[in-house]
Amino acid sequence: MDLEPYLFFSGRCEEALSFYQGIFGGEIASISRFKDMPADEEGHSQSPLEYGEKIMHATFKSPSFSFMASDGRPGKVYGEGPISLSLGFKDAASAQRTFDGLTQGGTVEMPMQKTFWGSQFGMLTDKFGIDWMVSAPLS
């Protein structure tokens, strides 16, 4: 069994994928746009015209993790959920570099700092509304 996050970006998916590619490396392995959906039985588009270029489904793969992504269904509102993505690093410098990258345009909830449980740890919400926890063992 594999667990793979599926992230929704409410119209900013392509921007988000480029942002994460700049931070994590890796590649956008696949993209399907709403305009690529087949027509219904009567020949009508199954999505609003303004959604044509929006991303219906994409797959992002980096050397250490992957996720799926979408602009979301037209008219669907995605709210805050009880979930954060957690990134664990082997060294504090890599953790700090990634944390700093993810904070661009986002909100730091807890700056990277030494914790009582023996980790360098920080929490943030990036500019796309995704919650992240970043950690590394203390050196």
Domains of the chain: which residue ranges? 6-70, 85-137
- Averaged pLDDT, 60-65: 93
- Alpha helices by DSSP H, listed for 30-126, are 92-102
In whole angstroms, what separates CA 61 from the centre of its chain?
Answer: 11
Contact 78, 10 (CB under 8 A): yes
Model confidence at 46, pLDDT cuts 50, 70, 90, reads low
Q: Which helix (H) or strand (E) holds 21?
A: helix 13-24
Q: Looking at the domain that runs over 6-70, which CATH code has it been given?
A: 3.30.720.100
Instruction: Compute the distance between CA of residue 27 and CA of residue 9 in angstroms, rounded to an integer.
Output: 18
Q: Looking at the domain that runs over 85-137, which CATH code has it been given?
A: 3.10.180.10
Question: How high does pLDDT run on average in the chain?
Answer: 90
- Model pTM score: 0.85
